[in-house]
Chain A
Amino acid sequence: MINYGLNTQEPQVMHIDLNSAFASAEQQAWPSLRGRPMGVTNRLSKECCVIAASYEAKALGIKVGVRRSEAVALCPDFIMLETDPSKYTWMYQNLLRIMKSYSPNFKMKSIDEGVIDFHGVHRTRSMIDIGYEIKQRMKDEVGQYMRVNVGIGPNRFLAKMAAGWHKPDGLDLLDHHNLIEFYKGIELEDITGIADAFSARLRAVGVTTPLEFLGANHDFLRKRVFKSINGLYWHDRLRGYEMDAQPTQLGMVGRQWVLRQASNDDAWLRSCLHFLAETVGMKLRYRSAEARGICVWMSFNVGGSWSDKRMLRATIYTNQDIWLQVSKLFDQRPKHMLIRTMGLYLYQLTPSTRSQLSMFDDVAKADYLTQAVDEINDFYGSFTVFSADTLTGTQNVKQKIPFGGTEYFDLLLKRA
């Protein structure tokens, strides 16, 4: 028997994952959709993509990213709805409320999944009992059609792996007793965080199964496979030691938009981009940050893309400053090209110092104006007051459901 040096502590991390979250929410809301293959998309169009599919659709091979035409070819009765952000945000808030009631140490990983860390929490029941209770509470407090996958493990990685073990509606615990058997039953690519590129690297050095990955020593992983400290992290993560509890720093804020029809109409594009810039400004201030770097990018109808970046001497914070820089970059684009997707992001972020008094009167005035507009929009709803130039943008750019980060749901709620 090989000693892999597994973490033998009691598993105290729980991963909660809402099954087919957006599709389940629609099936909960519309009883006639239950048991049917259906999906949701951000904007219904001829070639729109499925962004969430029901389990009935997944069983027919209709997965996230499948185009509408492909889905209908697989299932002529396939139903597609447009997303309803307020519905999903409410679900998110309920999941958050339930998770919060068990431990102060919790973190939402995205709109439909989160982690509860029970270390240091006094418990009178087993983790498995708590897991079943959370599943039942989602049904009682949100809806009977809401199914939740629960995974329990000694670290975040194994808790997530456990949550994906038996979908839908599963509850599994992974620890040193069953970890080896679990690894024997999965493929290398089934491991969370090991996508095609890492899998290819592992296979290139003769590591073809999760068990061989587990058996590789940390020097080998660090020097031969990952060629960085990540090798060491993976060595410990696979054994159940916590490597993912550190908070991540905010790197950038941005927004992108796919045009319904490719265009090179300068005035129209400018208004839409100005609108995007104002929403990015809202995000920046919501995170109490200022930015020095700015980038505008776009992709074209015929293929290919363009981007331009600028690093500024002073930080920017107000909508006016952001738009001034964005419009300068936008003017540099190849103007004859039809744009399909465009976006911008701000980077080199630093904590905002705007609460400090400025030496310059005009800077202070611009800050006061921005603050006043934000307060009005905060109370009366986003885009109650906005630049006249963005009017076309407000009518064309639709709010989408964010994947990944959950930092801006309060902002999204105000726009719903």
Chain B
Amino acid sequence: MDPTIKIDERVDVVTIFKRGGDIGSLCVPCRMRWRGREIDLTELALRHPTVQGKRMIHVFHVSDGSNGYRLEFDAEGLTWTLVAMMAEKP
């Protein structure tokens, strides 16, 4: 029924920080290493900020063309966490 798979694991992420553009496309995660696999992220579907206490968290919903991933960037701790994923056909 709820097709999201909770993961909550730290991951390596290659990110492009662009010089210009609107805020939605200034910072784009493009590749992630998770459990030894390298995954190319081809779509930034949605980015939104949230806060946990005074910590600013940027939430990135990205896709590799088949699976969707929820990545969170902790702007204070400078860490990337793969919070959840959803398969292509839930």
Contact = CB atoms under 8 A, between A and B. Distances in A.
Contacts of B89: 32
A413 interface: yes
A91 B46 CA distance: 10
A28 B1 contact: no
B3 interface: yes
Q: Chain A: interface residue count, which band?
A: 20 to 34
A251 interface: no
Contact of B22 (A28, A33, A141, A143): A141
A142 B50 CA distance: 15
Interface centre among A36, A81, A413 (most CB of B within 10 A): A81
B2 A79 contact: yes
Interface string A65-77: 0001000100000
B51 interface: yes
Contact of B88 (A32, A86, A379): A32
Nearest to A48: B1
Interface string B25-45: 000000000000000000101
Contact of A87 (B46, B63, B67, B86): B46
Contact of B51 (A33, A141, A413): A413
A65 to B, nearest CB: 18
Contact of A29 (B22, B46, B87, B90): B46
A98 interface: no
A86 B3 contact: no
Contacts of A381: 51-54
B82 to A, nearest CB: 14
Contacts, number: 76
A86 B48 contact: yes
B47 to A, nearest CB: 9
B52 A30 contact: no
Contacts of A68: 1
Contact of A28 (B4, B45, B49, B90): B45
Contact of B68 (A31, A79, A90, A416): A31
Contacts of B88: 32
B54 A379 contact: yes
Given A44-B1, A81-B4, A380-B54, A31 B90 contact: no
A288 interface: no
Contacts of B46: 25, 28-29, 87, 143
Given A141-B22, A380-B53, A381-B52, A30 B86 contact: yes
A72 B2 CA distance: 12
A90 B1 CA distance: 26
A82 interface: yes
A133 to B, nearest CB: 15
Interface string A107-143: 0000000000000000000000000000000001111
A29 B51 contact: no
A51 to B, nearest CB: 14
B63 to A, nearest CB: 5
A413 B22 CA distance: 23
Contacts of A31: 43, 45, 63, 68
A301 interface: no
Nearest to A81: B2
B61 interface: yes
A140 B86 CA distance: 24
Interface string A380-392: 1100100000000
A143 B45 CA distance: 7
Contacts of B3: 32, 79
Contacts of A87: 46, 48, 59
Contacts of A140: 22
A225 interface: no
Contact of B50 (A33, A141, A143, A416): A416
A25 B86 CA distance: 15
Interface string B62-80: 0100111010000000000
Contacts of A30: 4, 45, 61, 68, 86
A218 to B, nearest CB: 48
Nearest to B88: A32
Interface of A: 25, 28-33, 36, 44, 68, 72, 78-82, 86-87, 90-91, 140-143, 379-381, 384, 413-414, 416
Given A32-B63, A140-B22, 15 more contacts: A29-B45, A30-B68, A30-B86, A31-B43, A31-B45, A31-B68, A32-B3, A44-B2, A68-B1, A72-B1, A78-B1, A79-B3, A79-B90, A81-B4, A379-B54
8 contacts: A31-B43, A32-B87, A80-B1, A82-B2, A87-B46, A90-B49, A384-B53, A414-B51
